[in-house]
A = this chain, B = another copy of it.
Amino acid sequence: MATGHKIPSYRVVYETIRKHIQDEVYKQGTLLPSEHDLCVLYHVTRPTVRKALDALVNEGYIKKHQGKGSIVMGIPKGIGILSITGTTSAIGQDFLKTKIIVKPEIRTWKNAFIFKLTEREKELGCIYMERLRYVNSNPVFYDITMIPNLNLPRFTSRSFENKSLFDILRKHYQIEIKGGAQQILARGADKTLQKYFGVKKGHPVLQLNRRIETNRIDFYLYSQVFCNTDEYVLYGRF
């Protein structure tokens, strides 16, 4: 199934350099090739290279110093749930296992939800699912995902074990994640969290309420993520 989408060249440059940092072709602490050299390498002009580097700076892969060059910082450490790509890519799929608690099913919206829903979203109802995610066999994330029930054929019958929700949305429905907003708070564990995380009542748990924006206008995903940060803390750049 070819997408037919042409990949912009700044994206190619970004992805390649990112991969090279990941694979330690460009090693931590060293200087990246100069912008001019990258231009020659990728047959693009400086603004294009700079757009790619800007993204890498934002995500913490590199750091720039005027007059000196771009220093490779390496892969952002920790669990980068605050980044756009979601949990899976951030800590490496190898160490993340997913267990479905509630299979995707059509429901009415939880009215206790934090974000205001549009009338259209309320009408549609939502696809609801719950997942528990393990990092190195420890339950670390418990997440509730709600997606407006808008023209996503066969969605509820798909398998999500060890698959990224975002990947499925992109491949089968051409939905791209573009960013989002989130609330972050600390709370005590309730019965559900006690059960899944194996902690005492009131144990401090991180909660994230997220509204995720997509390439489809007025189409948002909603998720509530609970994290047990006892062993794995969240990490982010700003």
**Do A204 and B229 have beta carbons less than 8 Å apart?**
no
- Cβ-based interface call for A198 (8 A): no
Neighbouring B residues of A219 by C-beta, 8 Å: none
- Cβ-based interface call for A33 (8 A): no
**A237 to B83 Cα, complex, angstroms:** 9
Neighbouring B residues of A41 by C-beta, 8 Å: none
Neighbouring B residues of A238 by C-beta, 8 Å: 82-84, 179-182, 236
Of B84, B202, B205, B236, which contacts A202 at CB under 8 A? B202
- Please, what's the 1-or-0 string for A196-238, where 1 marks a CB less than 8 Å from any CB in chain B? 0000001111100000010001000000000101000111111
**A9 to B83 Cα, complex, angstroms:** 29
Neighbouring B residues of A47 by C-beta, 8 Å: 47
- Cβ-based interface call for A63 (8 A): yes
Nearest-neighbour CB distance to chain B for A220, whole angstroms, equals: 12
**Do B84 and A229 have beta carbons less than 8 Å apart?**
no
- Please, what's the 1-or-0 string for A79-123, where 1 marks a CB less than 8 Å from any CB in chain B? 000111000000000000000000000000000000000000000
Residue of B nearest to A212 (CB): B238
**A183 to B80 Cα, complex, angstroms:** 9
**Do B185 and A229 have beta carbons less than 8 Å apart?**
yes
Q: Which residues of chain A have a CB within 8 Å of any CB of chain B?
A: 47, 58, 60, 63, 65, 68, 76, 78, 82-84, 179-188, 202-206, 213, 217, 227, 229, 233-238
With A183-B234, A184-B229, A236-B238 already in contact, 4 other A-B pairs whose C-beta atoms are closer than 8 Å: A82-B184, A82-B236, A186-B186, A202-B204
CB-based closest 5 A-B pairs: A185-B229, A186-B204, A204-B204, A186-B186, A186-B206
